[in-house]
Amino acid sequence: MRWSRHPGERSLWLAFLIIFVMGVASSPLVTAGCPDRCECDDKLVVQCVGKQMTFFPSDFPLATRQLVISNNRIAELPALQLNFLSDLVFLDCSNNTLSEISESTFGNLRKLAYLDLSYNTLAKINDRTFGPLGSLVMLRITDNPELSQIHPGAFVENTALQLLDISRNNLTSLNITSLIVLPVLRTIALSGNPWQCDCDNEDLCLWIQIEAFKFQEGSESMCQGPPGVAGRQLAEVGMKLRMECHQSLGYWDYLFLTAVGFLIFSAGTVSAWVMGVLMLLYERYTKSKDTMQEGEEEGEGGGGGIANGNGHLSKPDV
């Protein structure tokens, strides 16, 4: 063939070919239609609620802002299709059969502010699952009966997060490392999980106690175990765990107490000594004053009194 002999022309053809193939491959994703069985309105809201869909829909309006695919049986969120929706602000995937979410799932959704993954079958949330979602304000992951693990770094990059709802899952513990760095987190819901209030959860319990205002329904977050604290609120057992889980620091506590005791003792001793010295000085001072006065009185007799009288009498004359 002719073009194979000219490398420059050949790469141009190759580029055309690649663009053509990409165009064909992505056309069902970018056409400005409306997905099958869904309703699209002109405000760029796509609703596909309760349509017994088993696959993520395709053929979206280009600039879809809101997508609701709740009450279906969708098992997977395909990263490629989802990330074409780069203007997405609101995504409700609740009540499906999603069992896995990864970092690439939401790779390009930089405007996403609301995400609902409730009523699915997620088992764990990995490190940085929501990493790229820098605008995420509300995240709901409730009622995932198998969800028992949330990685300490799961939310670490979601610095806009204000509300996190992880109620009614299968969580026994939660490492607060990634939560305490979220600067604007205002509300967190934890109730309905089988929390184990042992030393692994000491930080969580203490945090709930200290930051009580962040926990709307703090009184509903109960310990399911161990037996000694079962049925009590997470917030109630924080201080108790703090004391129980740090018995190995007893040595330092004793040292501290000894140091404090010694300080109090020596302060008492010093102040008693200072007081004694002051009293002694005062006594001596008053004594010497008395003897001086006595001497004066003995030397001048009643003259001083008369002089004083004159001084006082002279005042009104001025």
Ligand X SMILES: *[C@@H]1O[C@H](CO)[C@@H](O)[C@H](O)[C@H]1NC(C)=O
Residues that bind ligand X (CB under 6 A): 50, 71, 95, 119, 145-146, 148, 152, 170, 172, 175, 177, 200
> Closest separation between CB of residue 127 and ligand X, Å?
9
Q: Kindly tell me which of 28 and 152 has the beta carbon lying closer to ligand X.
A: 152
Cα end-to-end distance, the chain, whole Å: 132
Q: Kindly tell me which of 224 and 291 has the beta carbon lying closer to ligand X.
A: 224
Residues written for the chain: 318
Alpha helices (runs of H) in 55-191, residue ranges in sequence order: 79-83, 177-180
- Nearest-5° Cα angle at 275, 269 to 277: 105
Exposure string (b/e) for 273-295, b if CB count within 10 Å is 16 or more?
A: eeeeeeeeeeeeeeeeeeeeeee
Q: Kindly tell me which of 62 and 156 has the beta carbon lying closer to ligand X.
A: 156
Q: Kindly tell me which of 65 and 124 has the beta carbon lying closer to ligand X.
A: 124
Q: Say whether 161 sits in a helix, a strand or coil.
A: coil
Measured CA distances, 48 to 30, 87, 140, 276 (Å): 18, 18, 19, 88
> Closest separation between CB of residue 66 and ligand X, Å?
18
> Closest separation between CB of residue 156 and ligand X, Å?
10
Of 246, 237, 230, which is closest to residue 207 (Cα–Cα)? 237
> Closest separation between CB of residue 18 and ligand X, Å?
41
> Closest separation between CB of residue 150 and ligand X, Å?
11
Q: Please, are residues 108 and 130 in contact by the beta-carbon 8 Å criterion?
A: no
Residue 43: count of CB within 10 angstroms of its CB: 7
Q: Kindly tell me which of 58 and 175 has the beta carbon lying closer to ligand X.
A: 175
Task: State the amino acid at position 311 in one-letter form.
Answer: G
* Phi, psi (deg, nearest 5) at residue 233: -75, 145
> Closest separation between CB of residue 178 and ligand X, Å?
8
Q: Please, are residues 97 and 75 in contact by the beta-carbon 8 Å criterion?
A: yes
> Closest separation between CB of residue 82 and ligand X, Å?
21
Q: Kindly tell me which of 181 and 306 has the beta carbon lying closer to ligand X.
A: 181
Q: Kindly tell me which of 99 and 172 has the beta carbon lying closer to ligand X.
A: 172
